[in-house]
Amino acid sequence: MEYLLVGTIVKTVGLKGEVRIYPTTHFRDSRFKVGNHVLLMNEDGEVWKSLTIKKHVKNGPMDQVIFEEISSIEEAQLFLKKDLFVEKARSFLKKDTYFFNDLIGCEVFFYKGKFIGKVVKVEEYSSYATLRVRTELDTYVLIPFVNAFIKEVDLDCKKIFVNYIEGLA
């Protein structure tokens, strides 16, 4: 089973166990929906505890959450600095969208052509994501992850095909 990091508990709020979460997901409303479960993992990567969302409020770049299993500030303090995970499910994604961590390590090619390099990072900017690709010459190129540049993504073969970009080759 694979898991995705969706946030980190960073602070307690109030006396009744409410916590502030720094989210690391683009799907905040869906991931922290009332009734959903998030998981805490131990150092071995095994599920340690499941928490049920009782209440969720967006608070700027942070989220405030009440869990059914936590009812006091003392209990909440035990979970400070803990990462929250969910089970990874591709069915959650819309067509032609991908988990960024699935793109890392993919080989990048011009469509039906020359090898460019491997994706080492996906960088997020306000308007679109960008692939940071390490070339065979140990240099980096940035390729916007938008339809104008990306021709095909094959996650099974870990390959990404891009349209020819003037000056990249």
DSSP state of 90: G
Q: Residue type at 163?
A: N
Residue 78 burial class via C-beta count within 10 angstroms: exposed 0-12, middle 13-18, buried 19 and up: exposed
How crowded is the C-beta side of 128, counted as CA atoms within 13 Å? 13
Residue 78 has a pLDDT of: 92
Tokens standing for 120? 């080492």
Give the pLDDT confidence of 106-130 residue by residue, as tens digits: 999 988 788 999 999 988 877 788 9
**What is the average pLDDT across 151-165?**
88
Please give the domain boundaries of the chain with CATH numbers for all domains.
3-92 (2.40.30.60), 100-162 (2.30.30.240)
A 10 A CB-CB count for 18 gives: 19
Residue 29 has a pLDDT of: 85
pTM score: 0.64
CB 72 within 8 A of CB 22: no
Give the pLDDT confidence of 7-50 residue by residue, as tens digits: 999 999 989 999 999 998 877 888 899 999 999 988 777 788 89
Q: Can you tell me the distance from the alpha carbon of 31 to that of 113, in angstroms, rounded to the nearest whole number?
A: 39
